[in-house]
A and B are shown apart, each in its own frame.
Chain A
Amino acid sequence: MATRIHPLLVAFAALVFFFLVGPLVIIVGAALSDTSFLTFPPQGLTLHWFSNIFEISAFRETMTTSFLLAFLGTSLSLLVGIPAAYALHRHRVTLPTWLSTVFVLPVLIPEIVFGFSLMKSATAAAGLPIFASLLIGHALLVLPYCVRVVSASLAAFDFSVEEAAVSLGSPPLKTFFTVVLPNIRAGAIAAFILAFITSLNDVSVSLFLTGPGISTLPIQLLAHMEQFFDPTIAAVSVLLMAVTVAVMAVVEATLGLSFLTK
């Protein structure tokens, strides 16, 4: 439809987008600055602060932990989330309706409350190792995303195709892997990616679960910011933004970015 938008509205939206993008541009500029303090626009250009990230062992170690945690936590979550989402669609008749509410619960409980409670029960009371608690925390943190995104692709899947495969002699389990899974692949990839980035950026759950010797990158960043204020932080931030760019490219390639407005 050829509706014209009021110029004032356009100007307002332009300002908003400037407000959204500006601060991120500032971080990129600050990370490239040839000064030992954070400034924008950059005075001289250097990549020194990026190499400096890897000089600091705390960043090196927490970065490894964070990526490992995001990968394992998300995989674990999909491993239990995909069958659950499948059951909620395929066996809707035999399952009680409250069951789908279970997977909304992690959204209703504030993340920080969940992290605190898990710390008390798992780490403090049950004596689970720090990494195990972190893994459980992250897997549950992203479970709602996994179930929801996979559910969305299952909702678009015509289950009579699965019945056709079974009628042609394909056993149920094999049918799931050869017929159902390939058809919800885009959803599973998108779920993985969104869950991965959520886990990678998480503060509220990790906050309580990190402990001596094991921390995550965002928590380390927070701690570092309270003591130092140099462009290394900006460089780490730029690195994390690069991960975001990669993620968006994958989402665009699998589901299209319009998926995110649904």
Chain B
Amino acid sequence: MSVTLDLSSVSAHYGTTKVLEELSLSVKAGELVSLLGASGCGKTTTLRLVAGFLSPSGGTIRLGGEDLTRKPAHARNIGIVFQNYALFPHLTVEENVAFGLKQRRVEPAARRERALAMLERVGLAEFADRHPAALSGGQKQRVALARALVIDPPLLMFDEPLSNLDAKLRVDMRVEIRRLQQANNTTALYVTHDQEEAFSISDRVAIMNAGRIMQLDAPEVLYSRPANPFVARFVGFENLVRMRVAERMGETVLAEAEGGGRLHLSQQALGPIPDAFVLAARPEGLTVARQGEGIAARLGLRTYLGRAYQYRCETSAGELIANGPLSQPFEPGETVVLTPSLEQCCVLEG
């Protein structure tokens, strides 16, 4: 049975510093939502509020319609996977997994059976009698996952669960987490600072900054259609150029960049374009050419990326970053034109 998690207008303070401002968030039943952002953005605070380790200074938290806000942490029935695993070092792997069942007064025999079955599911049955100190990082994280899952919580929460693992293991583990979460159809809240991780594992991702959600959408939407400059920069649109429409010609508009340069933009490719807007482009969305329509630039430092060259470009709209083909290297100091390729660009409200 899956339930929804609803945060409405939740605020939090540490002393006099505001860390969360009227944050509202809904996680649908069975959905996995990630909170993504740099450290200090409030994502971990949000998780701790839901867990009950912190009390909000305002707002309500509901799980399956039930108000959790005043409920003590140990009565909330939420499975949490911690960044540092937080396995009890004095207990064996099996005792760790059975810990939550013991608190729920499950009989020892049933406890053991369910713990072992869960360990079987994460592939660690033969480690049941070991202590956590004897396990590798990946194994510890599996135990932590088993421990959180075995109590059949209506909500699972993950606090940067993979940040202590190496790159290969991280990919394997996130697939496993996703598989188990979907198999149980458990609602889940996942905190991470790793964009690839968040995008690969989540149904929806909330990008956070300074205690607020900047955008909450499916990864595909965030990646191609960011709603504001913050999110655009976050997902890799490193070039933001202020523009103004000079002339509308049906589907196509002629726009002028701040500081010079004219471009024809198709609303078919970019969606409706307002009179004043910001054109966001990834480095691979700006092509370097000797001539043509675009923004005039002087090339600076060139770096080799393997699949392309990347150039720092001085333009009248500030420094822009553009990619150029390997087959046609340009030299620093050359004067060129930067042309946006529209499938790697998007239009933001100015």
Q: Mark B19-58, 1 if CB is under 8 A from A, else 0.
A: 0000000000000000000000000000000000111000
Query: Chain A's nearest CB lies how many Å from the CB of B299?
Result: 37
Q: How far is the CA of A1 from the CA of B55 in the complex (A)?
A: 9
Q: How many of B's residues come within 8 Å of A, CB to CB?
A: 3
**How far in angstroms is the closest Cβ of chain B from A1?**
6
Q: Which residues of B contact A1 (CB under 8 A)?
A: 53
Chain A: which residue is nearest B55 at the CB level?
A: A2
List the B side residues contacting A2 at CB < 8 Å: 53-55
- State the Cβ distance, A6 to closest chain B Cβ, in Å: 14
Q: For B54, what are the chain A residues with a Cβ–Cβ distance below 8 Å?
A: 2
A2 to B53, CA, bound (A): 7
Mark A1-37 against chain B: 1 for CB-CB distance below 8 A, else 0: 1100000000000000000000000000000000000
CA distance A2 to B54 in the complex (A): 7
Which residue of chain B has the shortest Cβ distance to A4 in the bound complex?
A: B72
Nearest A-chain residue to B48, judged by Cβ: A1
The docked-state distance in angstroms from the alpha carbon of A2 to that of B15 is 13
Give chain A residues whose Cβ lies under 8 Å from the Cβ of B53. Answer: 1-2
Residues of chain B in range 257-282 having any CB-CB distance to chain A below 8 Å: none
- Interchain nearest-CB distance for B170 vs A (Å): 29
Q: Which residue of B lies closest to A2 (CB)?
A: B55
Shortest beta-carbon distance, B70 to chain A, in Å? 13
| Nearest CB in chain A: distance from B273 CB, A | 50
B228-257 CB mask vs A (1 if < 8 Å, else 0) is: 000000000000000000000000000000
A63 to chain B, nearest CB (A): 47
Chain A residue at smallest Cβ distance from B54:
A2
Chain B proximity of A3: nearest CB distance (Å): 9
CA A91 to CA B227, docked complex, whole Å: 59
Q: How far is the CB of A132 from chain B (nearest CB, A)?
A: 50
**Chain A residues, Cβ within 8 Å of B55:** 2
Distance in angstroms between the alpha carbons of A143 and B54 in the assembled complex: 46
Mask of B46-87 contacts with A, CB within 8 angstroms, 1/0: 000000011100000000000000000000000000000000
Q: A4 → chain B, closest Cβ, in Å?
A: 10
For the complex, give the distance between the alpha carbons of A2 and B70 in Å: 13
Give complex CA distance A2, B51 in Å. Answer: 12
Q: How far is the CA of A1 from the CA of B53 in the complex (A)?
A: 6
Q: How near does chain A come to B255, taking the closest CB pair, in angstroms?
A: 54
A160 CA / B156 CA spacing, docked (Å): 44
Q: What's the Cα separation between A1 and B51 when bound, in Å?
A: 12
Minimum C-beta distance from A251 to chain B (A): 27
A150-B334 Cα distance, complex, nearest whole Å:
60
User: Once bound together, how far apart are the Cα atoms of A2 and B73, in whole Å?
Assistant: 10
A1–B14 Cα distance when bound, in Å, is 11
User: Once bound together, how far apart are the Cα atoms of A1 and B54, in whole Å?
Assistant: 7
Nearest A-chain residue to B52, judged by Cβ: A2
Task: Give complex CA distance A91, B32 in Å.
Answer: 53
Those of B183-236 within 8 Å (CB) of chain A: none
A residues 36-59 touching B (CB-CB < 8 Å): none
Q: Give the Cβ gap from B131 to chain A, nearest Cβ, in Å.
A: 25
CA distance A2 to B55 in the complex (A): 8
Given the complex of chains A and B, what is the CA–CA distance between A158 and B55 in angstroms?
40
Residues 291-321 of chain B: 1 if any A CB is under 8 Å from the residue's CB, otherwise 0?
0000000000000000000000000000000
A2 to B13, CA, bound (A): 13
Chain B nearest CB, measured from A143 CB (Å): 34
Give bound CA distance, A27 to B53, whole Å: 45
Q: Quote the shortest CB–CB distance from B74 to chain A (angstroms).
A: 11
Chain A nearest CB, measured from B72 CB (Å): 10
Bound: A1/B74 CA distance, A: 13
- CB under 8 Å from chain B, chain A span 97-132: none
State in angstroms the CA–CA spacing of A120 and B221 once bound together: 86
User: Within the complex, what minimum Cβ distance (angstroms) separates A57 from chain B?
Assistant: 57
Q: Which B110-128 residues have a C-beta within 8 angstroms of A?
A: none
4 pairs, CB–CB < 8 Å, chain A vs chain B = A1-B53, A2-B53, A2-B54, A2-B55
- Which 4 A-B residue pairings sit nearest by Cβ, starting from the closest? A2-B55, A1-B53, A2-B54, A2-B53
A residues in contact (CB < 8 Å) with B: 1-2
